[in-house]
Amino acid sequence: MQMQVQAATMVNLSPLFIFLLLTTIWLVPVICDGVDSCQYSSAVGDPGMRRDGLRVALEAWNFCNEVGEEVPGMGSPRAADCFDLSESSLSHKVTELDNKLGVGKAFPGLSPKAKNDPDLYAAEKELYLGSLCEVDDTPRPWQFWMIMLKNGNYDTKSGLCPENGKKVPPFKPGRFPCFGKGCMNQPILFHQPTSLFDDDIMKGGFNGTYELGSTTDSSSSSFFEVLWEKKVGTGGWVFKHTLRTSKSYPWLMLYLRADATKGFSGGYHYDTRGMLKTLPESPKFKVKLTLDVKRGGGPKSQFYLIDIGSCWKNNGAPCDGDVLTDVTRYSEMIINPDTPAWCSPTNIGNCPPFHITPNNTKIYRNNTSHFPYSAYHYYCAPGNAEHLEKPYSTCDPYSNPQAQELLQLLPHPIWADYGYPTKQGHGWVGDGRTWELDVGGLSSRLYFYQDPSSPPARRIWTSLDVGTEIFVSDKDEVAEWTLSDFDVLLAS
């Protein structure tokens, strides 16, 4: 359509202009790169991860997305690696002293109430690191890609995590993994600041373990690592991830996220920093990325291609930080073919109440001859929803600072229109590929709970992430994957 307009206006222009226009038209297919992306602009600060001057940060969360307690000597679990490249040298924006900042230590902007509170301190440290990494841009500045690491242990005797946002007293253990006092600890973190190798290869990384007093080399300890690498001036960054569970830490999560640059990102009830200089809204956006899973992480590894997170209230209003009424909403496709559909004709309580087809036909979950049961792993409703249709399953009330809702999908032919995996095994080990996912289109037709007759919430996504959640493994498991070319494309 754009090209027709240009051709029509060419008629009374000078030969030079005609030449320029022809050049433009000629270049269009090259610029669009097969994405039919002429009408798309990028929502991220670093489209396709191609910028030499990398911006990447790491955050570690305990079971309810807080810190709880810092590990002595490690500082607050927020760190960053941000630099500019000029004349073959890297000038880092964040020092190791910045990365090691922990409770009690001052930094510019730190509020008195956060100084000795590990949870608030981490949130404000993220803002501080963001200020060091910030890149000016239109429509607004951005800060970094975010590596998110989470330990799923929950010591129910600690009283640390609220229940659907409400403070609750300690309760009897048994429901969650925990080896005893201290099981919710933050990890030991090592940083290899990005540096230049052989004149033109830039490499850096973070790694570590949850076993305090252990080294990262001990094979019986948990391990996580994200290494990044890029050739100067060409191509994009490749992020290589490794995650290993252990007997003491059988439930671990490692994602790379494009988060909001302000407001709340998925599952986070503090002001955040990130990469999404514009927030994508359903249905008009796509996500492009290259994923190569090398090792799956065992049968419990819920590998997400892709996980999207946001927050809105059951009445459709946007979240405002009131944890009693805010609800974190997630949807994710799990590509590990070992993941069964818990949703089935005999377990409709694990299914969303209905499915909506690409041509907007609603199919109820009791319609056994038409509902696509095997396209859904599990649906759970927010614990604070007041008008749920029976039967239903409510989500874990402790693992987010507020109530949450989860819609987990599996590869299935019904997702074909959106460019998602359509068959078990797609995108899995040995099937590395570049995906162009119509995340906006799909997420506009997913079921999310709202109170009857409330105006539909605007589906604005504050976090888009790829990675795995090894969900209580029976033995030590290792997942390994690379992620590159990440971009979020907004349709204009």
Interface residue list for ligand NAG (CB under 6 A): 190, 192, 207, 216-217, 357, 359, 361, 363-364, 366-367, 370, 389
CB of 346 vs ligand NAG, minimal distance in Å: 14
CB of 326 vs ligand NAG, minimal distance in Å: 27
Question: Alpha carbon of 51 to those of 47, 236, 289: distances in Å?
Answer: 8, 7, 15
Nearer to ligand NAG, 56 or 114 (CB): 56
Contact 458, 318 (CB under 8 A): yes
Q: Which residue has the tokens 């690592």?
A: 225
Nearer to ligand NAG, 217 or 386 (CB): 217
Other residues' Cβ atoms within 10 Å of the Cβ of residue 98: 18
Query: Residue 21: CB partners within 8 Å, gap ≥ 6?
Result: 6, 10, 13
Nearer to ligand NAG, 131 or 444 (CB): 444
Helix (H) or strand (E) holding 14: none
**Residue count of the chain:** 492
For CA atoms 342, 345, 346, 350, the dihedral sign is positive
CB of 37 vs ligand NAG, minimal distance in Å: 25
Nearer to ligand NAG, 178 or 351 (CB): 351
Other residues' Cβ atoms within 10 Å of the Cβ of residue 458: 13
Other residues' Cβ atoms within 10 Å of the Cβ of residue 217: 8
CB of 217 vs ligand NAG, minimal distance in Å: 5
Nearer to ligand NAG, 208 or 337 (CB): 208
Q: Which residue has the tokens 């509902």?
A: 371
Contact 464, 308 (CB under 8 A): yes
DSSP 417: G
Contact 440, 281 (CB under 8 A): yes
Nearer to ligand NAG, 21 or 227 (CB): 227
**Closest residue to bound ligand NAG by CB:** 192
Question: Alpha carbon of 290 to those of 231, 247, 301: distances in Å?
Answer: 17, 32, 19
CB of 162 vs ligand NAG, minimal distance in Å: 32
DSSP 106: -
CB of 111 vs ligand NAG, minimal distance in Å: 33
Angle between helices 2-9 and 15-32 (to 10 degrees): 170
For CA atoms 281, 283, 284, 287, the dihedral sign is positive
Nearer to ligand NAG, 190 or 392 (CB): 190
Nearer to ligand NAG, 318 or 353 (CB): 353
CB of 455 vs ligand NAG, minimal distance in Å: 21
Nearer to ligand NAG, 363 or 472 (CB): 363
Burial of 456 (0-12, 13-18, 19+ CB in 10 A): exposed
CB of 248 vs ligand NAG, minimal distance in Å: 18
Nearer to ligand NAG, 86 or 357 (CB): 357
CB of 452 vs ligand NAG, minimal distance in Å: 12
CB of 265 vs ligand NAG, minimal distance in Å: 27
Contact 211, 248 (CB under 8 A): yes
Contact 253, 148 (CB under 8 A): yes
